Amino acid sequence: MGIMSILNTNALKRVADAQLARNAQLMVAMDFEKHVTESVLTAMDIIIDKGDRKVSAERDSALKANFKHLTDISPALLNAADTPEEKQAALYLTDAITKLEPVIMNDLYKLVESGAADEMFDAIDDGIDNAAGDVGPQISAMIASIQEEVEEANEIMRSTQKRSNETNIVMLAIVALVAIGSLILAIRSIIGPVNKMTKITSDLAEGGDGDLTKRINSDSNDEMTVLGDNINKFIDNVHGVVVNVAEQSQSLTSASLS
C-alpha cells in the first residue's frame, strides 16, 4: 500500500505541475494582451487630445511602463508557446511590439509636439494599426489554445485523482480483509484452548467420569500457554492423588482378605 500511495502521489504531483505550468502560460498570454490593449488605447487618447501639443506625464509614464513590461515578458510568452501554432503567434506578437513601440513613443510624440496636421495623425493612426496588425486575433488564438491545454490538464488531474481514490479504496479493502482474517485466526487460537480448558475443568468440577489423563495442548507462546500448563500441573497432582488413594485402597482390601 505504501508503494502504491507513493506512485499515486508522484503521478498527482506531475499532473499538478503540468496544470500549474499551463495556468502560468495562460496568465502570461492574458497579461500580454492586457498591456498591448492599454498601450493602443493610450495612443488613441493622445491622438484625440493632440490639440494640447504635449503628451501628459501620466500617459507618458503609463506607455513607458507598458512597453517595458511587454519587453520583459516577451521571453516568457515565447516559452509559453509549446505548439507550432502558438510559437508562430508568439513570434508575431513579440515582433509587433518591437514595431509598435517606436511608432507610438517616437513618431506619435513628434507629431503631437509639432502640432502636425490632421492628415499626419490619420497616417500615424494607420501606422499604429499596421504595427499592431493582428495582435488581437493572434493573442486571442493563443489564449484559446492555452485554455484548451489548461482544460486538458484539468481533465487529466480529475482522472488521475479518481484513479488514485479508487486505488486507495481497493488497498484499504484488502488491508481490512487481511486484518479481519488475522483477527479471526487470533480469536480461534484463543477460543480453542479456552474451550478445551473449560471442558476439562468442568469435568473435574462435576466429578463423575472425569478423565484425568487429558491434557491441554497449546502451540502458542503466551498467557494461554502458561494457564494451560498450570491446569495440566493441577490435573497431574489430582491424578497422582487419585492413583495413590487407589493403590492404598487396593492394599487395604488385599490385607483384609488375607
Neighbours of 122 (CB within 10 A): 11
pLDDT tens digit sequence for 119-159? 888 888 887 877 776 777 777 777 788 778 777 777 877 78
**Residue position matching grid coordinates 487396593:** 250
The pLDDT assigned to 239 comes to: 72
The pLDDT assigned to 46 comes to: 93
| Average predicted confidence (pLDDT) for the chain | 79
The pLDDT assigned to 222 comes to: 63
pLDDT tens digit sequence for 164-187? 778 778 888 888 888 898 888 877
> Residue 247: how many CA atoms within 13 Å on its side-chain side?
6
Q: Domain 2-169, CATH 1.10.760.10 — does that match?
A: no
The pLDDT assigned to 122 comes to: 87
Torsion sign across C-alpha atoms 22, 23, 24, 25: positive
CA distance 61 to 193: 92
- Helix H, strand E, coil C: the string for 163-214 is HHHHHHHHHHHHHHHHHHHHHHHHHHHHHHHHHHHHHHHHHHHHCCCCCCCC
Domain boundaries along the sequence of the chain:
2-169, 187-257
**Residue position matching grid coordinates 479493502:** 173
CA distance 94 to 166: 46
Residue 226's pLDDT band (cuts 50, 70, 90): confident
